[in-house]
Amino acid sequence: MARACRVPRPAALLPLRVAAVALVLSFTSLASAESAWKDIWNSGSVAKQLSVEGDLQTRALIGQREQSATAAVRAANGKLRLDYRAGRRKWSLIDDGSKLIRLSPERRMAFAFPRPSLATDSALAQRNYVARAVGEAEVAGRPVKIVEVSRPHGPIAWRVWLDREYGFALKRERYNVDGRLVSGTEYTTIRFGVPVSSDVFEIPKDWKLVDENGGGRRYRVSDLSKQVGFEVATPRYLPQGYVLQGGYVERRGRHGRVAAELRYTDGLRLLSISQRMKGEGDDDRRGGSRHRGGRGEGRGGERGAGERGGRRGRGGGERGGGRERGGGRDGWGFGPPQGEAMTVIDRGSEKALRYFSKERVIVIVGDLPRDELVRVATSLD
């Protein structure tokens, strides 16, 4: 049977071609995305294994000012030491694997903080962000591969220059959620595999060590409530992609008031929500922190107090009754109470907001748009 063979005309083939090319491209980019992510995760683990000696320059945008410093770096066995220098200021930071220790040479004192180790949830990060290799370059005399990470359809969040041989990050740029470059670090010299003696990561014997912070133990919210002695409020609103990473006990201020800290993550960025019950000096505040340059009356701040008493008694606290009926909130009850302006402090790589609810003092820190921060804060009420 003779049937005219319908030879598809080139024009009709076009959609098919485009589809084919798109398919191929998407596979490639998928592959490249996968390898980009692999490089990223690898750079983190490699940094803990390599022994490294080098110098870097770092700069950070803090508020409106840019701070910069140089640092001599030594790393080995998962420990890291940075000896900073900025103008005439000198200080050092040691990560000994379990704590962060800040050394102050003029005072011959060392301050230790907990350094909570966040289990890397790569699946979460990969759900919320996209990574792609964007090119090649040279840093500190070594060839590198450049990888960019961003939220899908969002501005760039990180750019990292990874050493081709070791995968180690030789240069980094961090952008905040508004797309602004907020920190950058670049190695100027680096040597791998050099022996680093372990006493480099130790505090000089005759220095005073101040270790006031808690152990950084992670709790579930219900257990955290028991630890802090009040019911820990959780936000009803969370920015997209964020999940709870854990709860921590913190001590605040001169009198060591206990506060509960909740940490959320979207895989790469962090959101910290800290709360404590209002106390003396807090009662008369409503809404957000005051503007600088004073609108509203000034108030004596939290008064300093004497030493902490030794004993802790028993007894629980309950929540006071009554919800505040706020006008000015949006239809779903979020947003600041009517007439109250909220002041958000922009520190560059994060923003901070202090909010006084009916019974709590709440501080939110995160790299979020301003109104998201406000929504999270007010959803804790």
311 scored as a contact of another protein (CB under 8 A): yes
Q: Which is nearer to another protein, 143 or 253 (CB)?
A: 253
Q: Is 205 in the site for another protein (CB under 8 A)?
A: no
Phi-psi region of 281 (alpha: psi -120 to 50; beta: other; left: phi over 0): left
The continuous run of DSSP H or E covering 58 comes out as strand 52-62
CA distance 111 to 104: 8
**Site for another protein contains 217 (CB under 8 A):** no
Residue in the structure block whose two tokens are 């200021």: 89
Kind of pairing, strands 243-252 and 208-210? Answer: unpaired
- Nearest approach in angstroms of CB 130 to another protein is 14
Q: Cβ 136 to another protein, closest distance in Å?
A: 19
Residues 10-39 that bind another protein (CB under 8 A): none
Among positions 63, 135, 193, 215, the unique one binding another protein when judged by CB under 8 A: 63
Number of residues that bind another protein (CB under 8 A): 126
Confirm or reject binding of residue 202 to another protein (CB under 8 A): no
Q: Is 252 exposed, middle or buried (0-12, 13-18, 19+ CB in 10 A)?
A: middle
Q: Which stretch binds another protein (CB under 8 A): 192-200, 204-212, 233-241, 329-337?
A: 329-337
Closest-CA residue to 239 (of 346, 67, 106, 376) = 376
Residue 59 within binding range of another protein, rule CB under 8 A:
yes
- Among residue numbers 362 through 381, which ones bind another protein (CB under 8 A)? 363-366, 370-371, 374
Query: Would you say 359 and 278 are in contact if contact means Cβ atoms under 8 Å apart?
Result: yes
Q: Is 235 in the site for another protein (CB under 8 A)?
A: no
Site string for another protein, 128-157 (x = CB under 8 A): ---------------------x--------
Terminus-to-terminus CA distance in the chain, angstroms? 79
The Cα 375–Cα 331 span in angstroms is: 13
CA angle 357, 252, 362 (to 5 degrees): 20
Restricted to residues 251-310, the positions that interact with another protein (CB under 8 A) are 252-259, 261, 263, 265, 267-270, 272, 274, 276-280, 283, 289-292, 299-302, 305-310
CA distance 339 to 287: 9
Q: Which of 166, 175, 201, 230 is in the footprint of another protein by CB under 8 A? A: 230
296 secondary structure, DSSP code: S
**Contact characters 159-188, another protein, x per CB under 8 A:** -x-----------x-x--------xxx---
Told to check if 248 binds another protein by CB under 8 A, we report yes
- For residue 131, count other CB atoms closer than 10 A to its CB: 24
Residue from 156, 164, 237, 359 binding another protein (CB under 8 A): 359
The correct pick among 32, 35, 51, 82 for binding another protein (CB under 8 A) is 82
- Please, what's the b/e burial string for 254-272 (b: 16 or more CB within 10 A of its CB; e: otherwise)? ebebebbbbbbbbbbbbbb
